[in-house]
Amino acid sequence: MLPGKSVSIGSQVSFRIKSKKAGYVVLIDIDANGKLTQIFPTVASLTRNSRPNANYIKPGVPLLVPNLANAEGIAYVVSPPAGNAMVVAMWSEQAVQILDLPDIPPEMAGQDEALNYLTKWASQLRIPESTTNRLHEAKWSFDAKTYSIQ
């Protein structure tokens, strides 16, 4: 996360993602209250981006989100609530762009419980195969980074 792990409300941030394998990356923000929000790709970023599969990442080649050279009007602005938050990168070999994220049950509090809930939920997702449209189990890799909003 750029510029760093401590950010102020209203500041703009970007994310640098690197993978050992080719695949598709989805970024999920878990705010200080544990609310899940998909921040990349979004419907807006997919509609504005002329490159299909904008969330495809090549092995060893960093993906900058938003791409400052080709941001196409997309910016990430830090919003309330203040506190400790987390960004989660979900990686899949299969093409995945938009996830219908669940609501976190109200009895869960904080990023750790939300992350556990998200990983369990993702393990139950099924992705259609590109040639037959048959559903099969998704195989995800996760990486999470905490940050502080002030």
pLDDT tens digits along 28-53: 999 988 889 999 988 777 766 666 68
Q: What is the pLDDT at residue 58?
A: 95
Q: What whole-number percentage of the chain has pLDDT above 90?
A: 41
Helical residues (DSSP H) of 9-110, grouped into ranges? 43-48
Is the Cα torsion angle 145, 146, 147, 149 positive or negative in sign?
Answer: positive
> What predicted TM-score, i.e. pTM, was given to this entire model?
0.84
Say how far apart CA 70 and CA 141 lie, in whole Å. 27
- Residue 96 CA: distances (Å) to CA of 12, 70, 77, 111: 26, 21, 24, 23
Q: What is the pLDDT at residue 142?
A: 92
Q: What is the pLDDT at residue 99?
A: 86
Cβ-contact 13, 98 below 8 angstroms: no
Stronger pLDDT, 99 or 70, i.e. the higher one: 99
